[in-house]
């Protein structure tokens, strides 16, 4: 299980995101205006090897006329991920673990593998800020039968509405798209024709929370 250290991170994740988010194609903020970010939800997954930190963070930007909540899947590594320079959000100094490389996790094979394991029931979501504590508020479902968690390939692409991660299963070559909803919409949990999804709580403008689809799975022909 991942250990959550009560220590410093310099720069912080929100400081890194304030620079990175406006450059993304799915960012909804005003060009040239710095986002005003607060962490408003999310969860973690464990890396079975214990080397990579995995977090799905919800952050709300209040710089515009209406608040917008984004989802950013992070990975935290103790060394650079080969071939992933374009996915690097930034580097930071951790008070316990030292220098950390922070990546957009949609391009990190460890995060994608564990996300798929969550969907097929072979991984358990963890509380975002508490060590060794499952998070029952995060639910995952997958309608496909007899699917093993191992993947043979993953490819991620962005568009103005989110990120599609195309995966191929190692056991039977099945092709699936894991749609990462970058802009969370509380109250919208399901999607027509979806094979599965991951849902969790997301903030409403009045401070309450509602269920939202963080990830949606579709079959590829």
**What pLDDT is attached to residue 187?**
86
Q: How far apart are CA 147 and CA 196, in angstroms?
A: 13
Using a 10 angstrom Cβ sphere, with 0-12 exposed, 13-18 middle and 19 or more buried, the burial of residue 196 is buried
CA 213 to chain CA mean position, Å: 12
**What pLDDT is attached to residue 179?**
96
What's the structural domain count of the chain?
A: 1
Asked if residue 169 belongs to a domain, the reply is yes
**What pLDDT is attached to residue 1?**
57
Whether residue 26 contacts residue 185, with contact meaning beta carbons closer than 8 Å, is answered with no
**What pLDDT is attached to residue 5?**
63
Asked if residue 81 belongs to a domain, the reply is yes
**What pLDDT is attached to residue 60?**
96
pTM of the model: 0.93
**What pLDDT is attached to residue 2?**
65
**What pLDDT is attached to residue 149?**
80
Asked if residue 162 belongs to a domain, the reply is yes
Residue with tokens 């929370």: 209
**What pLDDT is attached to residue 4?**
63
Query: What is the span of the domain harbouring residue 193?
Result: 9-219
Asked if residue 124 belongs to a domain, the reply is yes
Asked if residue 2 belongs to a domain, the reply is no
Asked if residue 3 belongs to a domain, the reply is no
Q: What string of pLDDT tens digits covers the 221 residues of the chain?
A: 566 666 677 899 999 999 999 999 999 998 888 999 999 999 999 999 989 999 999 999 999 999 999 999 999 999 999 999 999 999 999 766 779 999 999 999 999 999 999 999 999 999 987 878 999 999 999 986 677 788 988 999 999 989 999 999 988 888 999 999 999 999 877 777 899 999 999 999 888 999 999 999 999 87
Closest CA to 73 of 29, 23, 113, 131: 113
Asked if residue 4 belongs to a domain, the reply is no
Asked if residue 1 belongs to a domain, the reply is no
**What pLDDT is attached to residue 8?**
74
Q: How far apart are CA 104 and CA 76, in angstroms?
A: 9
């Amino acid at each position: 299980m991942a250990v959550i250290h009560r220590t410093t991170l310099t720069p912080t994740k929100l400081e890194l995101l304030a620079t990175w988010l406006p450059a993304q194609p799915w960012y909804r903020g005003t060009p040239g205006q710095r986002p005003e970010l607060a962490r408003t939800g999310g969860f973690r997954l464990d890396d079975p090897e214990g080397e990579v930190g995995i977090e799905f963070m919800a952050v709300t930007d209040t710089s515009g006329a209406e608040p917008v909540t984004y989802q950013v899947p992070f990975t935290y590594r103790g060394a650079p991920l080969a071939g992933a320079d374009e996915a690097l959000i930034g580097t930071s100094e951790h008070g316990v673990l030292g220098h950390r490389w922070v990546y957009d996790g949609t391009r990190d094979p460890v995060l994608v593998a564990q996300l798929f394991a969550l969907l097929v029931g072979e991984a358990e979501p963890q509380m975002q800020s508490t060590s060794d504590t499952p998070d029952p508020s995060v639910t995952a479902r997958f309608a496909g039968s007899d699917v093993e968690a191992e993947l043979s390939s993953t490819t991620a692409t962005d568009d103005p509405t989110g990120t599609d991660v195309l995966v191929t299963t190692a056991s039977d070559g099945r092709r699936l798209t894991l749609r990462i909803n970058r802009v969370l919409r509380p109250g919208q949990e399901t999607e027509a024709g979806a094979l599965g999804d991951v849902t969790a709580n997301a903030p409403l403008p009045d401070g309450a929370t509602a269920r939202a689809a963080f990830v949606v799975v579709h079959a590829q022909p």
